[in-house]
Each structure stands twice: as structure tokens, then as C-alpha cells.
Structure 1
Amino acid sequence: MSESPNYPNYPDDAGAAASAGPVAAPARPGTIEGAFWAFVASTVLGLAGGLLLFVNWDALADTLRTANRQRGGTLTDAQIDQAATITLVVTVVIVVLIAALYLLFAFKLRAGRNWARIVLTVLTALHVISLLTAQDTVFGYLAALAAVVGVVLSFTGPSNAYIAAAGRPR
């Protein structure tokens, strides 16, 4: 008497799920691909704008010289040139680090990570706000536009479904 006559035999849920095998990763929609490439474009444009600083080194040094004279400073031209060079190098290092992080977040978005979508949205909002308060180059405006396009694409219906499915345990 191993079976009860009153209860039918049903497979338990754990056995059915285990025998089904691994669940395939959800298909990546075109909106996520579009968002990814928009964020890549934004990064490239931002890098191009940051690298324009090399072209403007003389203007930076002249601005520092003028400020030094107006304030009655005692810095020599060599010291001002050194300050301009250090400023340029530090700025380029920061721009490259930010670009690397931005690309990391874009790749994580492409993999369906919701936290990356949120980080990219916050960074894009900060970028747009900075355009309202500071003078920027054409590259800066185009980078912000590309990032806004990326954010919009990352929050469309297919993108939301993909990120929700990618976040489920497999």
C-alpha cells in the first residue's frame, strides 16, 4: 500500500522544473541595441570633446596668464605653462575614466542590468543639467543628445520586458 487510492499522482513542481533544463536567455530587442549604440556614440563624442582640450592648450595658458596678471600674481610663464599642462593631463585622465565607466554601464545595460539603466539615466540627467549651467562644445551637446536617445530607448516597452526577463533567475 504505497499509494493512496484517494489522491491522484502528480509530479511535484521542483521535479518538473529540474527536468525542463536551463532557461534560455531572453532575446535582446532592437531598442536595447539602439540604446547601447547611442550610449557608445555619446561616449565617443564626449571623448572627442575632451580631446579638443589638447588643441586649446594655448588658450588655457593665455587665460591663466591673464588671470595671474589681473590678480597681481607672481607666477612666471614657466609656472603657468606647467599649471596648464597639469590641468590638461588631469582633465584628460578624468575624461577617459568617465568614458570607460560609461562604456561599462552601456555593456551592462546591453546585458539587461536594470541598475546600469538607472545609472546611465542619472548620468544623462546630470549631463543635460550641466549644459544649462556651463558653456560646452558642439561635441558636448551632441553627446548629451545621443545619451538622451539612449535613455528613451532603454525605457521603451521591449526594453522594459527584456530587462525584466534578464533579471529573473534562470
Structure 2
Amino acid sequence: MPDPGPFESPYHHVTLPGQAAHEAPPGYPGWVGPMPAAVEQGAAPTRPATLTAASWSWLAATALFVLGLPALLYTGADALADDILADSQATGDPLTRAEAEVGARFTPVLFGLGFAVLSTPFVVAALKLRSGREWARVLLAVLGAIGFVVGLFALFALPHAHSSAGLVWALAFAGTTTAGMVSMFLPASTAFTRSVPR
């Protein structure tokens, strides 16, 4: 029996550069066998442009709701101050005109902060929509319908909201909400959502 080489291991075969490669016979001490061939994974499905457009549409609608609606309320601050002043006259401690104006200017800020908190689910769902999450589509459909109704109510309830600025805001909000709703349920978006593993 030939002497083992100085670089050979009694447990597994080592082939050094320049040596002829050969497989150790099965049963050789420490022989594990060849590695199985790597299974090629299929490429991940590509997110369709319709789903990207839906995500951006929902983010735009959220920005219009959080920033645009308080700004629209701010444009009617004088009429709001008149309403606050008239309401305070019915109480035992009526406000002055200056106090009513301060309240009218501060009210849009409070609305903006409240809308920012309420918009958190919209933002999270709009971002998760890009990953094809089905729950994000359902949540956006429900919240979008509620937000659409609230937006229309606010348009008619706010002072001076029926002006040209209010009409522009209403059309922009309705357009972005409708674009988001339709885009996320188009066939390409639905196919991508169904292809994403749960």
C-alpha cells in the first residue's frame, strides 16, 4: 500500500492544484459525496406600473386630505370667525372679535394634526401595496370610500369651501382617490397581488 502524501487527509480527499482530480469511492472515511445541483429559483414577479401608480395616487390623496383640507379651511377663516363669534353670543360669556379670529386661525392647525394621525393607516397601506399585499388593497378600499365621503361632507360644510379653491381641491381629491382605487384593482395589479406568497 503506497504511503499517503503529506497533504492528504485520512478523512476526506483533497485535490491540490496540478493533481489529477478523482473521486473517492463511496464508503471512504469522511466521504460526503457530491453536492446536489443548485435549483435555480424563478425570478421574482415584477411589480406592474399600475400598482406603482395606485400607491402614488393614494399618497397624493392622503397629502391632499392632510394638507389641502386644513388649507381650504384656513381660506375661510374670516367666515369661521364670524360663526364662532355668533355662537359665543348665545352663551353667557361671549368672545371678542380678536378671540374669535385666533380660534378661527388655530382650528385648521388642529384639523391638520388630527388628519395627520388619522392618515397613518393610509400611508402604511399605500407603501405595502407596492409589495402586493392583499390586506393593503382591502384596507385602502374601505378607508378610501370613507375618506371620499368625509371629503365631500367637508367640502360642503366648510366656510367658503364652495369657492373655486374648494372646487379644485374636491376635483383633485376625487381624482387621486379614484385613480388609486381603479389602478389597484386592474388585472395586472390583481395578478401581481395573487402571485405574492402569503
TM-score by length of 1: 0.72
CA contact (8 A) 1:45 1:140 kept: no
Matched, 1:148 2:141: no
- Give 3-state SS (helix, strand or coil) of 2:109's partner: helix
After the TM superposition, which parts of structure 1 deviate over 4 Å for at least 4 consecutive aligned residues? 21-24, 131-134
Change in CA separation of 1:106 and 1:157 when aligned onto 2, cut-off 3 Å: same
Change in CA separation of 1:73 and 1:25 when aligned onto 2, cut-off 3 Å: farther
For 1:81 and 1:133, locate their aligned partners in 2 and report how far apart those are by CA, in whole Å. 24
**Cα displacement (A) at 1:110:** 1.2
For 1:116 and 1:157, locate their aligned partners in 2 and report how far apart those are by CA, in whole Å. 16
For 1:105 and 1:43, locate their aligned partners in 2 and report how far apart those are by CA, in whole Å. 11
CA contact (8 A) 2:148 2:177 kept: no
Residue 44 of structure 1 is matched in structure 2 by 63
**Cα displacement (A) at 1:89:** 2.7
The percent of aligned pairs where both chains have the same amino acid is: 30
- Give 3-state SS (helix, strand or coil) of 1:161's partner: helix
Q: Which has the higher contact order (CA 8 A, sep 6+)?
A: 1
Q: What's the CA shift string for 1:25-84, capped at 9, x where partnerless?
A: 321001101211221221232222322333333332221102222x25423225534543
Q: What's the CA shift string for 1:116-149, capped at 9, x where partnerless?
A: 1111111221133335545153313421221111
Matched, 1:161 2:191: yes
CA contact (8 A) 1:105 1:116 kept: yes
TM-score by length of 2: 0.63
**Higher percent of residues as helix:** 1
- Residue 154 of structure 1 aligns with an amino acid whose one-letter code is M
CA contact (8 A) 1:131 1:141 kept: no
For 1:50 and 1:24, locate their aligned partners in 2 and report how far apart those are by CA, in whole Å. 45
1:76 aligned to which of 95, 110, 119: 95
CA contact (8 A) 2:54 2:184 kept: yes
Residue 108 of structure 1 is matched in structure 2 by 128
Q: Which runs of 5+ in 2 are unaligned?
A: 1-35
Count of residues paired in the alignment: 151
